[in-house]
Amino acid sequence: MFIVESYPLAIVFCFITMLCWGSWANTQKLVQKTWRFELFYWDYVIGIFLFSLIAAFTLGSFGEGGRPFLEDIAQADPANIRNAVIGGIVFNLANILLTAAIAGAGMAIAFPVGIGLALIIGVLINYILLNKGNPTLLFSGVLLIAAAIILNAAAYKKHAGISGKQGITKWIIVSVIAGILMSTFYPFVASGMDLENFVAPAIGKMTPYTAFVVFAAGILLSNFVFNSILMKRPLEGSPIRYADYFKGGTVHLIGILGGSIWGIGNLFNLIAAGKAGPAISYGLGQGATLVAALWGVFIWKEFKGSNVNVRRMITAMFLCFVIGLGLIIAAGE
């Protein structure tokens, strides 16, 4: 299977993760005026699962290092498989709430608050588990990102007050809940992999490719519960029927594309974790908050009409994110 064997390449992969995780939501933004997020989310989840299978039977099965996908999943310890499935379930609950917040408040608020919070908690959890990386630089970066989240939330509330937009507090709370949940899924997946040796992983452990497939299966299966509940009791709008899903036509391809984009980021993140360590890999990947905020501010104009004070707060938010991410990168050297 394909394996990353240098720290610089692992950082490149983490940056690709950052771009993918911060950009997939654009596919939802493209269709949200005509296609409810609950319906979009079915295709998004299908896209993740299909991409995980394609990756497992290609990059995860060719080459001399590691174990081919089918051989690897056959020898995996049931406890490790269970943990990866749990990781998928937790992630799906977090991500479906995040997607709802994106639909309700926009990328520039849902990502910095939700994923920024997930970054902070997730980095701390992953560092405690593996203790890899310079703690001074790592935690300094985390503090700056915490400051960025506070600035972003304050700026958005101020902007909402000026523009008269309603329901902002609700979507901030939804983003916070999503962020807390999002911070806990990664250790479940990482615990099932041999992060010290992808070339000859320990018996019972999974390669990143196998872990991704099992994780994606957890997402897909749990979606029949979580999304079904949201369709009947939506956070906003009227209930939706399953029959509505089959009226989408080609719009389904956009959701599948969104899931595939997220899947590329997730795969590259898991592959990079062996060299960068889970705290660095996860933390830098969740720098997607910065990417999503850039999309929200400059492309989707979610802060259009804001005053000078709000623009200054947004600028300070970006600076804190950039410097904080730089410190997280340096922590792994």
Rounded (5°) CA angle 242-39-241: 25
Instruction: Evaluate whether 280 touches 133 at the Cβ level (below 8 Å).
Output: yes
- DSSP state for residue 202 in the 8-state scheme: P
Instruction: Evaluate whether 94 touches 33 at the Cβ level (below 8 Å).
Output: no
pLDDT per residue as tens digits for the range 21-53: 999 999 999 999 999 999 999 999 999 999 999
* Structure confidence at residue 129 (pLDDT): 73
- DSSP state for residue 193 in the 8-state scheme: B
* Structure confidence at residue 165 (pLDDT): 64
Give 221: exposed, middle or buried? Use CB within 10 Å, 0-12, 13-18, 19+.
middle
* Structure confidence at residue 166 (pLDDT): 65
Instruction: Evaluate whether 102 touches 289 at the Cβ level (below 8 Å).
Output: no
Q: Which residues contact 14 (CB under 8 A, 6 or more apart)?
A: 268, 269, 272, 276, 280, 281, 284, 285
Instruction: Evaluate whether 272 touches 286 at the Cβ level (below 8 Å).
Output: no
* Structure confidence at residue 288 (pLDDT): 84
Instruction: Evaluate whether 320 touches 147 at the Cβ level (below 8 Å).
Output: yes
> Average pLDDT of the chain?
90
Cα torsion angle, 195, 201, 206, 209, sign = positive
Cα distance between residue 312 and residue 154, in whole Å:
12
Cα distance between residue 78 and residue 87, in whole Å:
14
Instruction: Evaluate whether 201 touches 107 at the Cβ level (below 8 Å).
Output: no
pLDDT per residue as tens digits for the range 94-153: 999 999 999 888 888 888 889 888 878 877 887 787 677 788 998 899 899 889 888 988
For the chain, list residues with pLDDT below 70.
Answer: 130, 162-167, 332-333
Instruction: Evaluate whether 186 touches 122 at the Cβ level (below 8 Å).
Output: yes
Give 136: exposed, middle or buried? Use CB within 10 Å, 0-12, 13-18, 19+.
exposed
Single pTM value for the model: 0.88
Rounded (5°) CA angle 100-103-105: 100
Residue 31: C-alpha distances to residues 25, 26, 34, 35, 255 (Å) = 10, 9, 6, 6, 9
Domain boundaries, the chain: 7-331
DSSP string, 300-332: S-TTTT--HHHHHHHHHHHHHHHHHHHHHHHHT
Q: Which two tokens stand for residue 303?
A: 């802060």
* Structure confidence at residue 7 (pLDDT): 87
In this structure, what are the phi and psi dihedrals at residue 4, rounded to the nearest 5 degrees?
A: -85, 125
